[in-house]
Amino acid sequence: MFLWRYLTLLLLTTAHTCKAKKCGRFTDLHLGHSFIGTSLKVRLLLYTRHNDVCGVLLSHTNLTQHPQFNMSKPTTFVVHGYRPTGSPPVWLYITKMLLDREDMNAILVDWNHGATTLDYLRAVKTTRKVSDNLTAFIKMMQDHGASLSSIHMIGVSLGAHISGMVGANFNGSIGRITGLDVAGPSFNNKPPEDRLDPTDAQFVDVLHTDTDALGFREPLGHIDFYANGGADQPGCPKTIFSGGSYFKCDHQKSVFLFLDTVNRTCFTRAYPCSSYEDFLAGKCLNCDRFGDAGCPIFGYDVIQWKDKLLKLNQEKYFFTTNADSPYCKTNYKVDVMIWNKSERWGYITIKLFDGNKEAVATIDHEASEFRKFTETKMLAQFDSDVQSVKKVSIMFTTGQVLQPKRTLRLLRVRLTHLEVKKPLCRYDVLLQENTEVTFSPLPCEESHF
């Protein structure tokens, strides 16, 4: 809903402004161009707070004719990737979002002529030329007083490798490169000089959303986020019968997840872990190495963790999301102790209520094991945040339909919001399989044990 309102507003404003003066627009091509193939043309569209919806087509030779291009402000380049159909990316409003967030020069790098071809390898070959073009442009910016540290390049797919090549041309002096589902095909297993890597900028942050198809598998930056494990995204089609979106949905999700952090819709902490399975099992919730700041927040603001991250080894960071915006989940640590004589295996669904709102988490990535007087620790990821929890409901299921229904006798259940950290407890709860039990949570008293 929010996205559509944003787009409509943007279209109306653009239409209005463009009547008054000519706005530079992203090149719109079609499938015919893709069949024939296109030769490279790099167009740079500048947006600032004076012209946040009407792009100015920048000259590659003379910057003095663009008074709104202020070199004392930070500059963010947004670089797209392969465009097999020739159409403009759907996320072009990113420049407006960046400007709403920060006073800067936001430059959309339009290399649609070059990216539009049925031959992916041809587009890959073109990336080096795009990076040379941008390198020459940034050198010209330097001549006009811009500092490399104040440059941020946001690269999508092939655009991330282009950003990496530009960064390498400046020996890693560019301030920051953000790679959004960095292209995998023909780059996986390539040496660092032929792809994005941590030496390409002072800080390199990377988001992986489609490691099993279009995205890059291994870590490439100072921090690498693997959303929902990095391979497949919730809300994206699982079969080819869903048409074209099957191919690009996971890949494109990287941009939407990032945008939610630019406009502060989302606040998602990511946890370093050796595998997604261990993360889901709640084994990687320790953030001590980051001190008071806690584990890094995914997205635009991760730059605040730069100094700490530069001292650490490359590692995978995990978080999960909802299928739609707002994508953030709310994480709780759940500790359960039972007093059944024999062990139980099963799945837990928890709901939190504040009187109006309800949040749900199902812990079903694998069956949890419950043993007498032994604490079972789980990670519960709720689809929304409930500020003041008045009621909690829990349901236990084994997933087995043929065996008699089981019971789970909880000696104690403890829920700890990972941000708020004030635990909620309940003692002596009897769960009948597949039957929801609702109760009011109590403050936890360690004296019970």
Q: Which residues are annotated as a binding site for Ca(2+)?
A: 195, 197, 200
Choice between 163 and 416, CB closer to Ca ion: 163
**Are 433 and 402 in contact, with CB atoms under 8 Å apart?**
no
Choice between 188 and 304, CB closer to Ca ion: 188
Is 110 an interacting residue with respect to Ca ion (CB under 5 A)? no
User: Could you tell me the smallest distance in angstroms from the CB atom of residue 234 to Ca ion?
Assistant: 12
Window 227 to 256, contacts with Ca ion (CB under 5 A): 232, 250
DSSP line for 77-99: EEE----TT-PPPTTTTHHHHHH
Name which position in 100, 103, 143, 212 contacts Ca ion (CB under 5 A): 212
What are the distances in angstroms from CA 112 to CA 41, 76, 117? 8, 19, 9
Name which position in 110, 197, 224, 433 contacts Ca ion (CB under 5 A): 197
Choice between 192 and 399, CB closer to Ca ion: 192
Q: Can you read off the two tokens belonging to residue 115?
A: 């990216």
Catalytic residue from among 150, 157, 163, 368: 157
What are the distances in angstroms from CA 322 to CA 122, 341, 410? 36, 37, 29
Distance CA 47, CA 107 (A): 6
User: Could you tell me the smallest distance in angstroms from the CB atom of residue 314 to Ca ion?
Assistant: 14
Name which position in 3, 124, 213, 281 contacts Ca ion (CB under 5 A): 213
**Are 122 and 37 in contact, with CB atoms under 8 Å apart?**
yes
Q: What angle do CA 152, 303, 53 make, to 5 degrees?
A: 45
Catalytic residue from among 251, 254, 385, 417: 251
User: Could you tell me the smallest distance in angstroms from the CB atom of residue 236 to Ca ion?
Assistant: 7
Is 205 an interacting residue with respect to Ca ion (CB under 5 A)? no
DSSP line for 347-361: EEEEEEE-SS-EEEE
- Residue number of the CB atom closest to Ca ion: 250
Window 16 to 75, contacts with Ca ion (CB under 5 A): none
Beta strands 330-338 and 375-382 are antiparallel
Would residue 181 show up in a list of annotated catalytic residues for this protein? Answer: yes
Window 158 to 187, contacts with Ca ion (CB under 5 A): 164, 168
Choice between 76 and 127, CB closer to Ca ion: 127
**Are 89 and 156 in contact, with CB atoms under 8 Å apart?**
yes
Per the annotation, where are the binding residues?
A: 195, 197, 200
Is 200 an interacting residue with respect to Ca ion (CB under 5 A)? yes
Q: Please give the backbone phi and psi of residue 408, each rounded to the nearest 5 degrees, phi first.
A: -130, 115
Choice between 86 and 229, CB closer to Ca ion: 229
Is 415 an interacting residue with respect to Ca ion (CB under 5 A)? no
Is 210 an interacting residue with respect to Ca ion (CB under 5 A)? yes
Distance CA 338, CA 323 (A): 33
Would residue 157 show up in a list of annotated catalytic residues for this protein? Answer: yes
Q: Residue 382's closest CA among 342, 433, 416? A: 416
Task: List residues with catalytic annotation.
Answer: 157, 181, 251
Binding residues for Ca ion, rule: CB under 5 A, are: 164, 168, 192, 197, 200, 210, 212-213, 232, 250
